[in-house]
Structure 1
Amino acid sequence: MAQTGDAGITNTQILDARTAETGSAWLPVLIIPLFLVAPALWNGYPLLQWDTGGYLARWYEGYLVPSRSTVFGLYLHFGEGSGFWINLAFQALATLWILQLTLRVLGLNQPLRLLWIGLLLILATALPWLASMLLTDFFAGPAVLALFILATQADRTSGLEKVALFVFTAFASATHSATLGVLFGLCCVGWIARHFVRDRISLSGLMQASGTIIAGAAMLLAANFALSGQFAWTPGGVGVAFGRMLQDGIVTQYLRDHCPQQKLKLCPYRNELPPTADDFLWGKSMFNTLGRFEGMNDEMGFIVEHSLAEYPLWQAKAAAAATVEQLMHVATGEGTNGWLPHTYGIIERYVPSQSKPMRAAHQQHWDIDFALVNWLHVPVALGSMLAVAAIVGHAIWRRRRDDVALLAATVTLALFGNALICGVISGPHDRYGARLVWIATFTALIAAVRYFSTEKSDKPLRAA
């Protein structure tokens, strides 16, 4: 006869419960990574984007290209032999790890909870499209969560987890300057906030988080030197900022005010500049005629510097408008269509073994349409941002400093910093918003779980 415990529960029942819990623990491990790469599996090949080819070519071409991280280029090169599926496997498993670890340090780690939260994120956000794509954008969201854990939850992680979080965040910061900028901004705010919430942000945790920025910068400089022989930062920031100012009309006005007194290459074209930065930098414009970045970098820098000094109010208004507009640009799938000639050419030139499966994929046959996807994703993204901002506002009003409020504040600052950096420098694009906004949805789900768990625990027990 089975023995009975104090609460009338038999050892057999306890064993069955533990067995069921162990079995359910494997469900998210098996299901979430598979569904995270479902878009790529359906496509028959990892998803590509306008910029993928530029990163992939860094290993082969041996010189620096504006806005193309050599660190991410090396990451792609590592996955060539597997048809880049090893990259997607890493991205899926890294996502699972970060989601699980975030829930665990917040005291919400239950396998089935992780499973349904993961599936909701896969259904309602850009997360699976990011995880299925060969693009730096994937790393932005997990890096913010990893930095949050390092800085505020150090006492709830093991030594090995701290090392893994450090390496992952450093690598993520080296993949894109905007990601590094967002993480750097969060660290700066963390040092300021620590004076007011010392009990929530440890000195050692904040030092480790800040160290990831230094390590990421060193990683990028080392990769640039190894591949190009130049100990230099990835170029292109000035050109991208110039494009945004051109789009706002500031460049045209500067040329009208100063030509022909200043002998600038763009003076003959001042009345026929393209309307957008993308048309100027990546289309068939006078930028090509004048030598692209190599021929125009000094002049673009000169115009950027002097227009900032001459039109400060206009620049400030344009920056504010670009930031707000970027916050609203959150649609999934920008640049993920069938027209990617540069990326196709790079793969066919340097990885010819991948030409056939790449050309056979649904994406290259224009079979991907994000209209229906964004019918759900856009309202969820905007609603999540409002929800997270409301959580922060409520926490400030009630003077709450719990972990969920701290996470919501981190995510809110990351979203704003991302909009500021990307909107002001590059100009508003959906891709920059979609890469990060899913962590707002994740945070809103965490807050909902915490709220309803507390409500349930507060209810008085009913008599049998």
Structure 2
Amino acid sequence: MSDDVSTPIPRGRRVEFASAWVVALVVPLLLLLPAFWNAYPLLQYDTGGYLARWYEGYLVPSRSTVFGLYLHFGEPSYFWIDLGVQALATLWILQLTLRLFGIRTPLRILVTCALLTLTTALPWLASMLLTDIFAGLAVLALFVLIVHGNEVSRLERGLLMLFTAFAAATHSATLGVLLGLCLAGLLARPLLGPRIPLAGLGRGFAALAASAVMLLAANFALSGQVAWTPGGVGVAFGRMLQDGIVARYLNDHCATLALKLCPYRDALPATADDFLWGKSMFNTLGRFQGMDDEMGFIALHALADYPLWQAEAALTATAQQLTHVATGEGTNGWIPHTYGIIERYLPGQVAAMRAARQQHWDIDFASINRVHVPVALGSMAMLIAILGHALWRRRLDDVSLLAATVCLALLGNAAICGVISGPHDRYGARMVWLASFVVLIAANRRFGDDQRPQSPSEEVIN
């Protein structure tokens, strides 16, 4: 008979282990509360275009085939598998970031995540069949990969690279923001030295290169074309039309150029959305297939003809986009294209989709945004204050470095989306929750007792 006696697990460890499981179960449920309440994943005006990629077999503007394949994978589960992936990915990246900032106790992680779900767009993004949830998460994943890559396991680094590549492949604007952050890190390295390791930057650039390969491969698999997702020129043209630049160009040049839009120059719609997605002359002239060349020609030559106007319009659009942060744009009961795609290709889901609260106009985003918008704008102000305090002290600690990264991400997102597509609340809401997350990290570090030790590599700003 053996005399060995198993060593009992200390009570404190048992409580911590149980608390960690509570976090792992509760946080995903909180993130998916809007979908559970809706009784079906939330849909958005653009969702149908992604769903159709598997079935239609050709490329359409601004609809990533990578994200289309991801949605197709979840179809048998009525897309609940997709929402589960989104909730678990959000939990993983949030807790990983918190852990690296010394916020490790399950209670603090739970409270931080609960505050995000109550005061930001995060649970609405996680509950929706749209690329937007991956935009903000990718910024955090890239930050960890570059700045803290040596502090996580090899498996975590590999998963972070894979996640970043996938997120960047789901939307060109997300890829643009991430590429901008990598370039900013490269430029800042002479100033910050070891705070931005070369190996980390290499991992970041490698992930973005993998995203390009992933997107090209998906496009080829579904359409037989080795091509980038189309549509950038048309979207930029729409923004110029909205600013009045296209009308001015047509008035100045229709006497000498035979352009398809010349007969319509006095009847152009007021907004890009009305032109591209409404019942406009764009449909009559063949939509993107019939108008891509002309829209590209006008957009390129209008840049050369009116540089100051273009610069002023770009700055205005960027500034406006920074303040467009309301939750729920395009997520109401009127999304006919998405309904039509589900009815055409997924008839078995029509009853569940039609029974959902969203399709009965039961979501009151006006009330929700009475909380979300002030929190978003206040968080951005506090983010600037955190960064300003670091500059005043001339020392960039890890929280300040994250704050600077999020500031650049918000600015880059506003510039790319505002200048190319025009300001929309959807583009702001998908990123601005990051500002609230940084503020919560700073509060935890200021008032918590589980702080991360000061890094010896934190640089004094000269």
Same fold at TM > 0.5: yes
Q: Is residue 2:189 matched to residue 1:208?
A: no
The match for 1:137 is: 132
AA matched with 1:156: E
> Aligned to 1:66, which of 48, 51, 61?
61
CA distance in 1, matches of 2:427, 2:90: 19
Asked if 1 retains the 8 angstrom alpha-carbon contact of 2:101 and 2:451, the reply is no
Q: What's the offset of the Cα at 1:206?
A: 1.1
Q: Is residue 2:385 matched to residue 1:395?
A: no
CA distance in 2, matches of 1:23, 1:137: 32
Worse-superposed segment, 446-455 or 120-129: 446-455
Q: What's the offset of the Cα at 1:201?
A: 1.1
AA matched with 1:427: G
Runs of 4+ in 1 over 6 A off after TM superposition: 454-458
Equivalence map 1:295-314=2 (5 Å):
295-314=290-309
Q: What is the CA deviation profile of residues 21-42 of structure 1, one whole-angstrom value per residue up to 9, with x for unaligned ones?
A: 2221122111110010110001
User: TM-score scaled to structure 1, two decimals?
Assistant: 0.94
The match for 1:405 is: 400
Asked if 1 retains the 8 angstrom alpha-carbon contact of 2:102 and 2:452, the reply is no
Q: Is residue 2:460 matched to residue 1:442?
A: no
Equivalence map 1:409-420=2 (5 Å):
409-420=404-415
SS in structure 1 of the partner of residue 192 of structure 2: coil
Q: Is residue 2:93 matched to residue 1:101?
A: no
- Decide whether aligned partners of structure 1 residues 331 and 270 sit closer, same or farther in structure 2, where only a CA change above 3 A counts: same
Asked if 1 retains the 8 angstrom alpha-carbon contact of 2:219 and 2:229, the reply is yes
Structure 2 runs not aligned, ≥5 long = 1-6, 454-462
The match for 2:217 is: 222
Q: What's the offset of the Cα at 1:373?
A: 0.3
CA distance in 2, matches of 1:42, 1:110: 30
AA matched with 2:162: V
AA matched with 1:229: G
Q: What's the offset of the Cα at 1:440?
A: 0.6
The match for 2:376 is: 381
AA matched with 2:267: E
SS in structure 2 of the partner of residue 194 of structure 1: helix
Q: Is residue 2:152 matched to residue 1:157?
A: yes
Q: Is residue 2:16 matched to residue 1:26?
A: no
- Decide whether aligned partners of structure 1 residues 254 and 154 sit closer, same or farther in structure 2, where only a CA change above 3 A counts: same
Equivalence map 1:229-308=2 (5 Å):
229-308=224-303
Q: What's the offset of the Cα at 1:352?
A: 1.3
Q: What's the offset of the Cα at 1:17?
A: 2.1
Q: What is the CA deviation profile of residues 35-84 of structure 1, one whole-angstrom value per residue up to 9, with x for unaligned ones?
A: 10110001010000000010010111010000000000000000000000
- Decide whether aligned partners of structure 1 residues 20 and 388 sit closer, same or farther in structure 2, where only a CA change above 3 A counts: same
CA distance in 1, matches of 2:375, 2:243: 29
Q: Is residue 2:39 matched to residue 1:79?
A: no
AA matched with 1:296: M
AA matched with 1:374: N
Q: Is residue 2:441 matched to residue 1:429?
A: no
Q: What's the offset of the Cα at 1:401?
A: 2.0
Q: Is residue 2:130 matched to residue 1:128?
A: no
The root-mean-square deviation of aligned C-alpha atoms, in Å, is 1.5
- Decide whether aligned partners of structure 1 residues 430 and 457 sit closer, same or farther in structure 2, where only a CA change above 3 A counts: closer
Q: What's the offset of the Cα at 1:18?
A: 2.1
Q: Is residue 2:373 matched to residue 1:352?
A: no
The match for 1:342 is: 337
CA distance in 2, matches of 1:302, 1:68: 23
Worse-superposed segment, 179-188 or 391-400: 391-400
AA matched with 1:423: G
Paired-residue identity, %: 70
Worse-superposed segment, 177-186 or 25-34: 25-34
CA distance in 2, matches of 1:126, 1:97: 18
- Decide whether aligned partners of structure 1 residues 228 and 377 sit closer, same or farther in structure 2, where only a CA change above 3 A counts: same
Q: Is residue 2:32 matched to residue 1:42?
A: no
> Aligned to 2:320, which of 310, 320, 325?
325
> Aligned to 2:85, which of 90, 95, 98?
90
The match for 1:52 is: 47
Q: What's the offset of the Cα at 1:457?
A: 12
Q: What's the offset of the Cα at 1:426?
A: 0.2
Q: Is residue 2:187 matched to residue 1:197?
A: no
Q: What's the offset of the Cα at 1:454?
A: 7.1
Structure 1 runs not aligned, ≥5 long = 1-10, 459-464
Q: What's the offset of the Cα at 1:194?
A: 1.1
SS in structure 2 of the partner of residue 425 of structure 1: helix
SS in structure 2 of the partner of residue 271 of structure 1: coil
Q: What is the CA deviation profile of residues 325-344 of structure 1, one whole-angstrom value per residue up to 9, with x for unaligned ones?
A: 00000000000001111111
Aligned residues: 447
The match for 2:106 is: 111
- Decide whether aligned partners of structure 1 residues 413 and 445 sit closer, same or farther in structure 2, where only a CA change above 3 A counts: same
CA distance in 1, matches of 2:390, 2:449: 16
